[in-house]
Amino acid sequence: MAVGQTVLPVLLPVEGVCLGATSAGIKSPGRKDLVVISLDKGATCAGVFTQNKFCAAPVIIARQNMSETTPRLFVINTGNANAGTGKQGLSDARAVCSALAALHECQANEVLPFSTGVIGEIYPLETVKSGLPGTYQALNKNGWVDAANGILTTDTFAKGASKKISIDGHAVTVTGIAKGSGMIRPDMATMLAFIATDVAISKKLLDQCLQTSVAASFNRITVDGDTSTNDACILMATAKSNLPLIKEENEVYRKVCDAIAEVCEQLAQAIVRDGEGATKLITIDVFEGTSEQECKEVAYTIAHSPLVKTAFFAKDPNWGRILAAVGRADVENLDISAMSIFLNDVCIVSNGGRAPGYTEKSGQDVMDLDEITIRVNLGRGLYSARIWTCDLSYDYVRINAEYRS
């Protein structure tokens, strides 16, 4: 299942970026499972990675290589996370970088490795290495759709977003792809996402733009509250557009950053739409809090409540479960008499209890929709936070009970 828009939009090429995807036979024969992305010289690049302390070997190597030089190549495999694999995993991730660097005649630390799949199984190094030459051969600037498909695991559809804007008469393109469906509560990062733009921009501003965009997109989604060991989000700027180098936080920077943020938000929402077993896209808006942190705490407590999630799956306006989740959020001195809670525009709770005028039918009419917003007014401050999540269905259990079989 998946909710709403699941068709891959047109993905515009970004000058300076090529992508190739093939099947190396890592897990299912014939399924594309190996992707290479190349970046022309002269580009800048930013990345954010999972905060999970058991982060995967490729995350450690990618983070280290990125601190040393500007990447020229990215290599992504599915079917094996190379996580929980200790020293052997680090050695394997380095070996993949070396093998690809040899084909491109660059340094090994100019290659960043990424893996996604089962945690704790030994990395299929020889299989991946044998697939590299063919994947490298497949590199082309129209390879976005192949790459979007090649990075998927339990996803049911390929995820991409693309945007073309004009700044001072110069065309600027932003295109991105992402994968993710379960083990989704990115923490200062996301599942895998690769986003490119053709502007020229300083490394410092590119980093800042990525942080801002991720904070409002990938870091605001949750499927099941589980943070992956392998999350990573990469933002490339190829400097191929005619727009002059962006080196300060001016209007041009803001326009480019807005476009990047929009692509990130579309990709993040696509991950929730494709949440394992999802039948609903649920937006949670918490506002009038005394801090953004407390708004997020309330929002995530609702989003992670299995009882709220199963009620949405059942289309059951059992709003008492939302109330119970708000009431257990770790927020001090919450005054329930000042709060109100809405399902879309239907007020379900006010003055500490069921809102006057609420009817089962008005709640049911909202619950029958595929995309629903829960709004919580804390009634005590000026801050707000928005996150996205999905419901909990039989299929979530099935998918994750059968994951390795």
Nearest distance from C-beta of residue 81 to a copy of itself, angstroms: 7
Query: Which segment (33-41, 86-94, 107-115, 284-292) binds a copy of itself by CB under 8 A?
Result: 86-94
Query: Which segment (5-13, 140-148, 345-353, 365-373) binds a copy of itself by CB under 8 A?
Result: 345-353
Q: Which residue has the tokens 């479960």?
A: 321
Three-state DSSP class for residue 53 = coil
Contacts of 262 (CB under 8 A, 6+ apart): 161, 163, 174
Q: Which of 18, 76, 119, 236 binds a copy of itself (CB under 8 A)?
A: 119
Nearest distance from C-beta of residue 395 to a copy of itself, angstroms: 9
Q: For residues 52 and 238, which CB has a smaller minimum distance to a copy of itself in the complex? A: 52
88 lies in the binding site for a copy of itself (CB under 8 A) = yes
Q: Which of 33, 224, 265, 274 binds a copy of itself (CB under 8 A)?
A: 224
Q: Which residue has the tokens 């070997």?
A: 57
Query: Which segment (141-149, 152-160, 180-188, 266-274) binds a copy of itself by CB under 8 A?
Result: 180-188
Q: Could you tell me if 227 and 219 are in contact, meaning their C-beta atoms sit under 8 angstroms apart?
A: no
Contacts of 179 (CB under 8 A, 6+ apart): 78, 116, 148, 151, 152, 153, 155, 159, 191, 192, 193, 271
Nearest to 96 by CA among 194, 145, 26, 158: 26
Residues 374-403, interacting with a copy of itself (CB under 8 A): 392-394, 396-398, 400-403
Active site residue 190: yes
Q: Which of 203, 353, 359, 369 binds a copy of itself (CB under 8 A)?
A: 353
310 lies in the binding site for a copy of itself (CB under 8 A) = yes
Nearest to 190 by CA among 114, 304, 287: 114
229 lies in the binding site for a copy of itself (CB under 8 A) = yes
215 lies in the binding site for a copy of itself (CB under 8 A) = no
Q: What is each CA distance from 365 to 73, 204, 312, 360, 390, in whole angstroms?
A: 50, 48, 12, 9, 18
The dihedral sign for the CA sequence 22, 400, 272, 254: negative
Measured distance CA(114)–CA(175) in Å, rounded: 19
Residues 53-82, interacting with a copy of itself (CB under 8 A): 53-55, 81
Given 78, 116, 190, 279, which residue is catalytic?
A: 190
* Identity of residue 150: G
Q: Could you tell me if 101 and 111 are in contact, meaning their C-beta atoms sit under 8 angstroms apart?
A: yes
Q: Which of 93, 346, 349, 366 binds a copy of itself (CB under 8 A)?
A: 349
Nearest distance from C-beta of residue 256 to a copy of itself, angstroms: 32
Measured distance CA(175)–CA(81) in Å, rounded: 25
Cite the active site residues: 190
Which chain residues interact with a copy of itself by CB under 8 A?
51-55, 81, 83-89, 118-121, 182-183, 185, 187, 224-229, 304-307, 310-311, 313-314, 316, 318-321, 323-328, 334, 336, 349, 351-354, 392-394, 396-398, 400-405
